[in-house]
Amino acid sequence: MTFSLTNLANPTRFLNFAGTVIPWLAALTVLLLGVGLYQAVFVAPTDYQQGETVRIMYIHVPAAWVGMGCYAVIAIAALGTLIWRHPLADVAAKAAAPIGAAFTFVILVTGSLWGKPMWGTYWVWDARLTSLLVLFLLYLGLIALWQSIEDPGRAGRAAAILALVGAVNLPIIKFSVDWWNTLHQPASVFRTGGSTIDPALLTPLFVMGGAFLALFVLLHLIAMRAEILRRRVRVLQQTQVQQAQIAQAARA
Amino acid sequence: MKAVLALVRRDIALSFREGGAIGVALGFYLVVVAIAPFGLGPDLNLLARVAPGLLWIALLLAALLSADRIFHNDYEDGSLDVLAMGPLPLAGVAASKSLAHWVTTCVPLALLAPVLGLLLNFPIHTIPLLVLAMLAGTPAVSFIAGIGASLTLGLRRSGLLIALLVLPLYVPVLIFGVSTISAAVTDPVRLGRRFMLCAISLASMVLAPLAAAAALRTGFR
């Protein structure tokens, strides 16, 4: 992994790499999503208690894996920005934040759509829901910070610090929310028997997990490519403005 | 240590002589708590039940009002550059400025809280505990606000941005701050949880200045 990471530090080499990988990855994503969705919707049996609504799980759970894993990607990229000054680390973190926010949003939406028929309400202040909501807010804060700082270098380092502060805080938030919830709501009836999932349900779930992972990597590569190109355009515009100013000064 | 004390004393003196800021924060705190019954209804039992949470949330918002001032003035007039080059490590500068914010903003707010608690029918015998819990929890508020202030230094609309960045990080303070107070009202056995509040404050006082100093360095260049 380090081999490829150091190799890809050069943005041009990264763009070439992304250009060759993206079509293959897109094909893989479509294939996995197709197989996974077909299995999830048509093949997988319905749950004896939840009925058809169990199928929401095939979107919800993989989105949860990716949405939370994405924050880990950002935190590692933040270390890369601050410690090794890897030139693509802050591009990676910046590209990952909106994707993570989107996946977290999908978790919250599918969760509440599932919650309505199952729990009778779209939203409960269950510990898991609440800590995911806080995660979503952290993503929004990161995106807002990137949007507010014009200079990409400073924005990258500031966001990296915020991402690490968030990474330190997330376990504390998780712990305190768990504790808060059990104080107010001692009987947490909303735990479905996670470990007792039937293999017939589990296979499509893992296929969907693979599909979402491929989708994440695909979107991430595309977003990183777009960000690198955006920075190049920015530099080009700046040099154009400078040259115009120099030309104007020479004329005057 | 002497430099830290001198810096804290200077910041406190500055903010008192500048005037206004503390009064505005206190007034904001009063207004937020005063309009809450219009939204929730005048039922005194209900107000007493929501009082701890309401007092804490309003305090967080009032403390954040002045958070963008933690480094702003010194950044504008260049004193921050001088401080950065001085003998005191930048984390020490960040720590003393956050401490000054705590003394000038959070302590007055915590001292105003009992009066507002009376408006909300908060039981009188637990008021000393209310103040103690707020004094124990607010160092975390000021020091984490210091991270937000240093990240957004020199940006437009930095005040709003600080709130968006920092409020999610206040979730543990809020949870343990409120539970300490409500535990005192309903169930004194659970009072041991107040140590969690102190732990969060102490940890933020150690760790937050390091993050704030790193963030300040990205702003300099």
Question: How far is it, in rounded angstroms, from Cα A128 to Cα A174?
Answer: 8
Q: From residue A226, how far is each of A59, A67, A74 by CA, in Å?
A: 27, 21, 17
At residue A199, the pLDDT reads 67
Question: How far is it, in rounded angstroms, from Cα A129 to Cα A139?
Answer: 15
At residue A171, the pLDDT reads 84
- Please enumerate in sequence order all residues whose Cβ is within 8 A of that of A226, keeping only pairs 6 or more positions apart, or say none: A95
Confidence label for A1 from pLDDT (cuts 50, 70 and 90): very low
What are the tens digits of pLDDT across the range B6-53?
888 888 888 888 777 778 889 999 999 999 889 988 888 888 888 888
**Taking CB atoms and an 8 Å cutoff, what residues of chain B touch A144?**
161, 164-165
Amino acid B177 reads: G
B136 vs B185, residue with greater confidence: B136
Q: B77 lies in which domain range?
A: 2-220
What are the tens digits of pLDDT across the range A111-145?
888 877 777 777 777 777 888 888 999 999 999 99
Paired residues of A47 in beta bridges = A51
**Total number of domains in chain B:** 1
What are the tens digits of pLDDT across the range B60-98?
999 998 888 888 888 888 888 888 888 888 899 999 999
ipTM of the complex: 0.83
Residue B123 at interface with chain A, using a CB cutoff of 8 Å: no
Tokens of B64: 């954040």
At residue A136, the pLDDT reads 92
Position A185 pLDDT exceeds 60: no
Is there a contact between A154 and B218 (Cβ–Cβ < 8 Å)?
yes
A74 vs A194, residue with greater confidence: A74
At residue A194, the pLDDT reads 45
Span A28-54, average pLDDT: 79
Confidence label for B110 from pLDDT (cuts 50, 70 and 90): very high
Residue of A nearest to B157 (CA): A148
Residue A179 at interface with chain B, using a CB cutoff of 8 Å: yes
Confidence label for A169 from pLDDT (cuts 50, 70 and 90): confident
User: How many residues are given for chain B?
Assistant: 221
Span B119-135, average pLDDT: 86
First vs last C-alpha separation in chain A: 55
Provide the b/e sequence for B165-182 (b: ≥16 CB within 10 Å).
bbbbbbbbbbbbbbbbbb
Q: Nearest CB to B168: which of A141, A168, A180?
A: A141
A177 vs B190, residue with greater confidence: A177
Half-sphere exposure of residue B200: CA atoms within 13 angstroms, side-chain side: 30
**Taking CB atoms and an 8 Å cutoff, what residues of chain B touch A162?**
147, 151, 165
- Please enumerate in sequence order all residues whose Cβ is within 8 A of that of B219, keeping only pairs 6 or more positions apart, or say none: A154, A158, B75, B150, B153, B154
Residue B53 at interface with chain A, using a CB cutoff of 8 Å: no
Span B134-152, average pLDDT: 92
The pLDDT mean for chain B works out to: 86
Position A2 pLDDT exceeds 60: no
Which of A104, A129, A138, A161 to mutate to test binding with chain B, by most B CBs within 10 Å of its CB? A161
Span A200-210, average pLDDT: 82
- Percent of chain B past pLDDT 90, that is, above it, reads 30
